Structure 1
């Protein structure tokens, strides 16, 4: 019955799919000096341009998506200031259609198999992810439990899974992991599912990670936005609660009540970085707030998965100043970066959010650290796939297994310290 329900959802997703990206181009822009970097920073304030990545360092290209009617003016502006650019995708819509077909094929193959509701060869829908959590709770009742932590604005169940070693001890320290605050970052959801898979289904290999810690994992923070990114607008980032007749959604990672709205967030409700009408205006951020506060004292490591950019970031996001205990966070993050570099050669940049990437107040990591008193709080930005937010299905397994190497190393470092 579950497989049939998932198949109906799958076919419904195809019928609803809307292509909004025909003729959209994606550019890589390389700044050669501080002036050009500042020029790009100013351009990123224009809502017409979707900057996927705007790194601080001069040796890293910025990536931006521009719709057809804005391309001539955009290119003219870059040429006027003699800024180098490269078109890396001439028609993003065409790329997305091919990727959707491949993902569809892989999901159907998984539905026909006798295995779990999810695999790591496809990006799965919210219902399939929730079904997988329930399957694990049924398969490993002594070690795994699933709770409906709350409802999204559109009344979807937001589930957490708690994984223990089954020894029955209560009050253990906790590692809390979430993913999918931003809807379009599908590889983050897959990364969280892989952590769940490793801890629950490969318990014998990973039992040391559960000896003194329970893990609480929320793999889809923003299910409304996530579903919308599957059915309607692939690059949708925000939640889906309407703000006005024209604008929907809030950037959930600008909505937490810690230096809310001070920097790096927009007051314009149509903006991708809209901070919300008030702090904690969204049921999804209220839910994370309540979970984090319920773990105060026991919660030792908060990890939130995003994409993209190969970063391990720690507080603060609202200021370039560092907290007094920044070295503890840096040590844990560096352990993850070192493990990944050793295993695969992939380089992660480590540092505070503001100093490494950009200032943005109202994030979940700052709130976990500054209010819920998690001593270690890290945002992990997974690698880019495709043109950034759209890895191919063939890239999923490599990315999530690499991510697990870093997460495991960070968890081991936290266990040493706490």
Structure 2
């Protein structure tokens, strides 16, 4: 009976899901800066979704196009002689497979629970927002002498934005600040944050050299969008706030920070930055963490996906942050540690130079606030499809990323910790 009820629930959920029937994905490779600039003009088109940022250095990007724009888009690529290849004929088939995998994983988890096993520490499925929150509560109960959970505020739709804080927070130590899933559809980011939490808390005694720092981790920075991507529209990216005089919902939280913010004119764009900085509760809560630990934060890491980049400021201009050499050192330590695990390679560099100029980024704001090392890490994607990274790959990604993040924590402990 339980299996029948579960299947019925999943059938209803699938029926409510936004359909990507007929959506196509092209792999596009600009071979010059001018071609890249031409392509970026499509970013404000609500029928065109850049799964990866356009690179100024000739890297390929996957771009999804709705049926009503496909002929126009393909003609544009041909007219401007931009190298392209159709790689996904129908995106809906991709997410049908993902939903089936999700249902099978839920059945597996129910069997585990019926046998008295816990879901906690199962990194073979993508956790829901409620699962992540339950885990934070569990850790606080089990390891209250090491960590505690704090509600930092509430999202636009009233969800509690919770952080796990590891350490004493008595003002005597440098602080490291991680946040993940500011972009809702990037499901591998919160899984990486949760694995980071597990390693730091459950294996706390194995990391005594890291006990000279305090650590704050927000595993889901955009809970409204994250839940929406799980329940209704898999590729939802933005927050879920209502935009005045528009039927289009949401703001790109990573364009809503105050440093070098720019007014956006198209609320339907995936990179819409809102009508002013910090209109989004999600971005303002991140700002509040900077306010609270102003001079103590020495490392800020925004976990995103995908592309395998270690990016540092500035993103708003072709200018490197003053201490860019330190960022390069930390980036190389991160990338080398990751590469040793599975051979995964990362590109290290300035965001504007490696990709293109953008405004209102969280890591630019962090650097503006004086944080020593500020970075956005773009985690690996899922083969040809990107955001639909299979659940079977979660463990591989989170384990290798942990090794890189641990190196970054060592850096802070070495440079800023108690001597």
Q: How does 1:271-310 map to 2 (within 5 A)?
A: 271-310=269-308
1:156 Cα offset (Å) = 0.7
Q: Does 1:252 align with 2:253?
A: yes
Q: Which residue of 2 aligns with 1:207?
A: 208
CA 241–19 in structure 1, closer or farther in 2 if over 3 Å, else same: closer
* Aligned residues between the structures: 404
What is the TM-score with the length of structure 2 in the denominator? Answer: 0.91
Q: Which residue of 2 aligns with 1:378?
A: 375
Q: Which residue of 2 aligns with 1:80?
A: 79
Whole-angstrom CA distance in 2 between matches of 1:12 and 1:227: 18
1:364 Cα offset (Å) = 1.1
Is the CA contact 2:48–2:63 (under 8 Å) kept in the aligned structure 1?
yes
Is the CA contact 1:332–1:414 (under 8 Å) kept in the aligned structure 2?
no
Whole-angstrom CA distance in 1 between matches of 2:41 and 2:119: 47
Q: Does 1:140 align with 2:138?
A: no
**Uncovered stretches (5+) of structure 2, i.e. residues with no partner:** 1-5
Q: How does 1:242-391 map to 2 (within 5 A)?
A: 242-244=242-244, 245-261=246-262, 266-371=264-369, 373-386=370-383, 387-391=385-389
1:242-284 Cα offsets, whole Å, 9 max, x none, are 013502111111111111117xxx3211111111121110111
Q: Which residue of 2 aligns with 1:231?
A: 231
**Uncovered stretches (5+) of structure 1, i.e. residues with no partner:** 1-6
1:56 Cα offset (Å) = 2.4
Is the CA contact 1:313–1:378 (under 8 Å) kept in the aligned structure 2?
yes
Is the CA contact 1:47–1:271 (under 8 Å) kept in the aligned structure 2?
yes
SS in 1 for 2:327: helix
Q: How does 1:113-128 map to 2 (within 5 A)?
A: 113=112, 114-117=117-120, 119-128=122-131
Is the CA contact 1:29–1:62 (under 8 Å) kept in the aligned structure 2?
yes
Q: Over the residues paired in the alignment, what is the CA RMSD in angstroms?
A: 2.1
What is the TM-score with the length of structure 1 in the denominator? Answer: 0.91
Q: Which residue of 1 aligns with 2:90?
A: 91
Whole-angstrom CA distance in 1 between matches of 2:199 and 2:107: 24
1:15 Cα offset (Å) = 5.7
SS in 2 for 1:53: coil
Q: Which residue of 1 aligns with 2:24?
A: 25
Whole-angstrom CA distance in 2 between matches of 1:159 and 1:197: 16
Whole-angstrom CA distance in 2 between matches of 1:59 and 1:320: 17
Whole-angstrom CA distance in 1 between matches of 2:325 and 2:14: 51
Is the CA contact 1:225–1:237 (under 8 Å) kept in the aligned structure 2?
yes
Q: Which residue of 1 aligns with 2:196?
A: 195
Is the CA contact 1:118–1:129 (under 8 Å) kept in the aligned structure 2?
no
CA 354–230 in structure 1, closer or farther in 2 if over 3 Å, else same: same
